[in-house]
Amino acid sequence: MMKKVDRMNRRASARQMKQEERGGIGVFLLSQLNRVVFVLLMAMILHMLPIHNHSLPSSASVTTSTEDQITNPTPQTTSIQNRSILPNSDQVAGSLQPSATSAQTEAPATKDSGTVNWVRMKGTTEIRTEPDPSKPDLLIVTANEALPVLQQTGDWIEVGLNTDQRGWIRKSEATTISVPAADTQLLKVNKNTSVYLGPDESFDQAYRLKATASFIPKMVSGKWIEVAEQKDGKPLWVPTSQAIWTYGEQPAIEAWSQDVQALSSAAKLKQKLPLEGKTIVVDPGHGGSDPGAIASGKPVYERDINLAAAQVLANKLKSAGANVIMTRTSNDQTVSLAQRVQISNDNKADVFVSIHQNMYQQDPSVSGTITYYESPNSKQLAEKIETATTGQLSSKQGQQNEQIEKEQLYVLKHNTRPAVLIEGCFLSNPSELNASLLPSYHEKLAAGIYQGIFSYLHA
């Protein structure tokens, strides 16, 4: 009897569970049906209502404080729009813009606004090769000069100097301005300025400007700027001290050619360049994993100064027609001493010059240049370079005596070509350390080396 009762109870429980399951399914289906009906009703109601298009204002009507753009950046790094701020920017835009990263966003200015961001200097401003106060200057500009913004990183703004060169300024040294996107970067060159055929006063003068003229900048090198305009296929250079960085409509050739006094005849321009056919190896000492001497107090790396001066020298030599080979072209490159020597020997260099800076912590008052040689056929080259370099730097650094020493340094001892190594200044000397970061020092050191090489090859 108990077993029968148990079986009946279990059957009743089973029937009850099935009924509950059927009831639960019914409730679920009913709830889903109600949702569908609700969605359909809402769709019908929305369809019947009048819809107004509340579109966002165009970028041209959005006003953003230019001061906020420069002083209160939202991300850490702000990548500035790819716009026609430089001549031929459509072809070179990729080279001007940094790679996109998660820390970069587009600038407030857009294509619809018709403007791009530039900065106007508040006063004399140093434009450095990297966003670091211990890095060399590429250029020094003055109040109210303007440059296009490429990006902002922390307290630094990257600016464009032409289609290939860029530099960095402190955010606090400039004010952001909006410039018409159609405008071109320009140099306003002062009246009576001499325009040269190379980046050195030893080159011939092509013109003298009879009125202020506008040019398109092509390259900065020491105290010189190469412009895009040419004379009979020859590059033209103007002193940085006579040029103002600005923007405006791209000038026609006639706009400046009518305001010049020609100083070089067509026949003279066709003459052979003075260093044509000569191969010169320029070796910026150290580099990459080898920073060279490091100044105490201010972490200035010797390798940075060496490369800055070497690049200025290379531009002078190229303008004179020389075949210039650089052993390194960036501060990231590590080149062994053996590789440097091999480059010189394999290319049968007419001159090999290695550029360095010195260090003597025991006595910070020690200053001046020293030029080293090893073989007898290099002694005259060392004398020419030391004499010319001392002449260039003496008025600035108080040098009086030329210093030439015979030394068995690796790049000299194993070099079969005429070779010298020059120590431009002492990074342990506070005065020379500060000067070593300036374009004027790079210019004078390079000019002295250039004049010494020129004199040696034409002796």
**Predicted confidence (pLDDT) per residue in 239-260, tens digit:** 999 999 999 987 765 555 656 6
Is the pLDDT at 224 greater than 60? The verdict is yes
Stretch 308-319: mean pLDDT, rounded? 98
What length does the chain have? 459
Q: What per-residue confidence (pLDDT) applies to 37? A: 57
- Mean pLDDT confidence for 200-226: 93
Q: Is the pLDDT of residue 199 over 60?
A: yes
Res 17 pLDDT > 80: no
The mean per-residue pLDDT over the stretch 210-222 comes to 93
Contact indicator for 115, 216 with CB cutoff of 8 Å: no
The pLDDT value recorded for residue 231 is 80
d(CA 321, CA 6): 113
pLDDT at 163: 87
Statement: residue 266 has pLDDT above 60: no
β-bridge pairing 115-121 and 146-153? antiparallel
Question: 């399951």: which residue's tokens?
Answer: 21
Q: Annotate 428-444 with b (16+ C-beta within 10 A) or e (fewer).
A: bbeebbebbbbbebbbb
Output the pLDDT for position 76. 40
Residue 38's pLDDT band, with cuts at 50, 70 and 90, is: low
Q: Which residues contact 196 (CB under 8 A, 6 or more apart)?
A: 203, 204, 205, 206, 224, 236, 237, 238
- Range of weakest confidence among 80-84, 142-146, 386-390: 80-84
DSSP at 202: T
Q: How confident is the model at residue 41 (pLDDT cuts 50, 70, 90)?
A: low
Confidence tier at 398 by pLDDT (50, 70, 90): very low
Does the structure show a pLDDT above 70 at 48?
no
Least confident of 67-71, 176-180, 210-214: 67-71
417, 345 Cβ separation under 8 angstroms = yes
Q: Are 358 and 397 a contacting pair, CB within 8 Å?
A: no
Residue 206 has pLDDT above 80, yes or no: yes
pLDDT exceeds cutoff 60 at 310: yes
Rounded Cα–Cα distance for residues 454 and 459 (Å): 9
| pLDDT at residue 54 is higher than 50 | no
